[in-house]
Structure 1
Amino acid sequence: MILPRSFASATCRLRLLLALLAAGTLSSAQAQMADSVLTGPAPMATPRPPELPLPQASPHAVVLQTIGLTDVTVDYHTPAVRGRAVWGQLVPYGQVWRAGANENTIVSFSDPVSLNGQAIPAGKYSFYILPKSDQDWELILNRVINHWGAENYDAKADQVRLPVVPETGPMHENLVYWFSEVKPSSGRLNLSWEKRTVSVLIEADVHAKALAGIQKVLAAHPENWQLLAQAADYLVQNNIQAELALQYINESLRLKEAYTNTWIKARLLASKQDYGTAIVYGRRALKLGERDDPNFKTSQPNMRITLTEWQSKAY
């Protein structure tokens, strides 16, 4: 059946199409036409109003610090004092504060860490502060990271609350997060605004992660004497895993004897207070360096001083 081109009204067209659909007499093209009539055009999306590219009153900021092998990131917005009374007024006592402006302040840890001795899993957390008085504050990590500030904050989602005492310091017009006392396995995260600074100690188990990485690389390159020597040297420098360090350095020496890995074994033996054997390997390292390495002269003086120290302890 051929559909007529025009009908008296939309109601007539709808009735006819329904009848044809029920009878199953529509061709494919006619069925598409029926679908178009029945469903009508898709609603138009409401256009988003344009926005002017204006600077924010509290600009966005990100600070990242690597502690050992762990990345610690703070993503926040920076409110300014602008002549206002901050603590106890702009930031009321007894209320959870977003520790910044606009969206939540987010603190991220790429690996498990401890904060002031409290274990924290790797991940992202909203960072809040609860100032109770001038000297009695709590730092809060909360597992919900998509709130706007403290709206809908729920203490049940807190990962940890840390009691802290803020310190009085120089004036900071803009809130700022910064790191200090950064060492291979620890560092301090500080927040400063107006004349208050609060600090938290972050500690990371850098040796556990380093050892896991060492084992992975050595499993892929078991015949690389230099990698084995580097692994042993790391363990000796940090005075950990002495037996594993001995295993690595012996395998390195089996593959190739050089003054570098020979000296590492001498240092490892000295760390175990086996000074007599350490001296034997130390003297061997000196001979290998003088014979094989044109750049050895830069290392030689310190090695001789160390050998003299071992001799005073051995005899």
Structure 2
Amino acid sequence: MPRLLCFVLLCFLGFGAARAQQFAMPQASPHAVVTQTIGLTDVTVDYHTPGVKNRKVWGQLVPYEQVWRAGANENTLITFSDSVRIGGKAVPAGKYSVYVLPSADHDWQFILNKVTTHWGSEGYDPKDDLIRVPVLPEQAPMHETLNYWFSDVRQSAARLNLSWEEKTISVLIRTNVNAKVLASMKAAVEKAPADPQLLAQAADYLIQNQIEAELALKYINRAIELNDSYTNNWLKARLMAQKEDYLSAIESARRAIKLGDKDDDTFKHQLPGMKLALTQWQSKAY
């Protein structure tokens, strides 16, 4: 009987242990993912978020002059859908591990490493670094948990920030969005060379970004041939003013104003600005 009782107890305990293994508990450093689209490029940071928990972080929990995994648990990973530049250094599209080298008395280093399968800093080898970028830590409001976040997001650039305890570091990420747009634009126009709306849209992008002026002129001239509207003539006026050909800008602006529908709300809203620009161009031309 004692043997049978022991067997039953062992079975019960074993069953209980098996059930306990399925018990869900929150991680000490929860998983987090943040993604930002910069122009046409997606940037994703996949990391774990350690907490301060009444500890001194910089110089103690995270020692100075030692490479740190910039998070918790396995590698902090950053993925770029297209090539970018960080601190003026080229970074091809792909996935990289993130490390930081903090210092007590000089700039820190933001590091991208090509090996993405390490546990934290274990096995880190500087020969696998893709880039190292100096960063200046700044005092910041208290962040109990480590946080990656984006700021100053523009069409071709954004800042990636890392904040923890009372410090923040950031790096500027730049994308070559115009190159991607140009390639897509040229392919679209090649497929639909007689679409005035597409041609005007392409010219407008080039004018707004002040690139490829001759291509913009080619597109807007063709758009006007297909649709001699006030909007297309106004686009051409803006382009010619950018090229400092103010006589041509004046000619196109006058035609745009003549073609505009005085009862159209959009035109009525634009008209004061068009007249003001026309006056300014006249002062420069004559």
Corresponding position of 2:30: 59
Q: How many residues align?
A: 269
| Distance in structure 2 (CA, Å) of the matches to 1:277 and 1:191 | 50
Which residue of the partner structure matches residue 276 of structure 1? Answer: 247
Percent of matched pairs sharing the same residue: 62
Q: Are 2:111 and 1:111 aligned?
A: no
Please show how residues 3-152 of structure 1 align to structure 2 within 5 Å: 50-152=21-123
Measured against aligned partners, the alpha-carbon deviations of 1:214-257 in whole angstroms (never above 9, x if no partner) come to 11222222221111101111111111111000111111112211
Q: Does 1:180 align with 2:151?
A: yes
Maintained 8 Å contact 2:262/2:268: no
How far apart in 2 are the matches of 1:134 and 1:191? 19
Kindly state the Cα deviation for residue 291 of structure 1 after the two structures are TM-superposed.
6.5
In the alignment, which residue of structure 1 is the partner of 2:235? 264
The answer (yes or no) to whether the contact 1:135–1:166 under 8 Å persists in 2 is: no
What SS does the aligned partner of 2:204 have? helix
Name the counterpart of 2:186. Answer: 215
CA distance in 2 between partners of 1:114 and 1:64 (Å): 17
Displacement of 1:165 after TM fit? Answer: 2.3
Q: What's the CA shift for 1:297?
A: 1.2
Report what 2:282 is aligned to. Answer: 311
Runs of 4+ aligned structure 1 residues displaced above 3 Å come to 47-50, 291-295
Supply the distance in 2 between the matched residues of 1:193 and 1:246 (Cα, whole angstroms).
Answer: 50
- How far the C-alpha of 1:194 sits from its partner, in A, is 0.6
Q: Give the drift of 1:54.
A: 1.4
Q: Is the 8 A contact 2:240 2:248 kept in 1?
A: yes
Select the residue among 259, 267, 273 that pairs with 1:302. 273
Counterpart amino acid of 1:197?
T
2:196 maps to 1:196: no
One-letter amino acid of the counterpart of residue 79, structure 1: P
Distance in 2 of aligned mates of 1:52 and 1:217: 55
Residue 196 of structure 2 is matched in structure 1 by 225
Query: How far apart in 2 are the matches of 1:48 and 1:143?
Result: 40
Give the CA RMSD over aligned residues.
1.8
CA distance, structure 2, for counterparts of residue 48 and residue 123 of structure 1: 40
Deviation string 1:71-101 (CA, Å, 9 cap, x unpaired) is 1111111110000111121112232211001
Report the equivalent of 1:237. Answer: 208
| Structure 2, gaps ≥5 residues long | 1-17
Q: Which residue in 1 is equivalent to 2:136?
A: 165
Deviation at 1:173, TM superposition (A): 0.7
The separation in 2 between residues aligned to 1:292 and 1:224, in whole angstroms, is: 26
Q: Write the distance in 1 (CA, Å) between the matches of 2:262 and 2:134.
A: 61
**Displacement of 1:292 after TM fit?**
8.7
C-alpha distance in structure 2 between counterparts of 1:126 and 1:51, whole Å: 31
- Please tell me whether Structure 1 or Structure 2 has the larger radius of gyration of its CA atoms: 1
SS at match of 1:290: coil
2:59–2:104 contact (8 Å) kept in structure 1? yes
Q: Give the unaligned 5+ runs of structure 1.
A: 1-46
- 1:134·1:166 contact (CA, 8 Å) conserved in 2? no
| TM-score, normalization by structure 1 | 0.81
Amino acid at match of 1:242: A
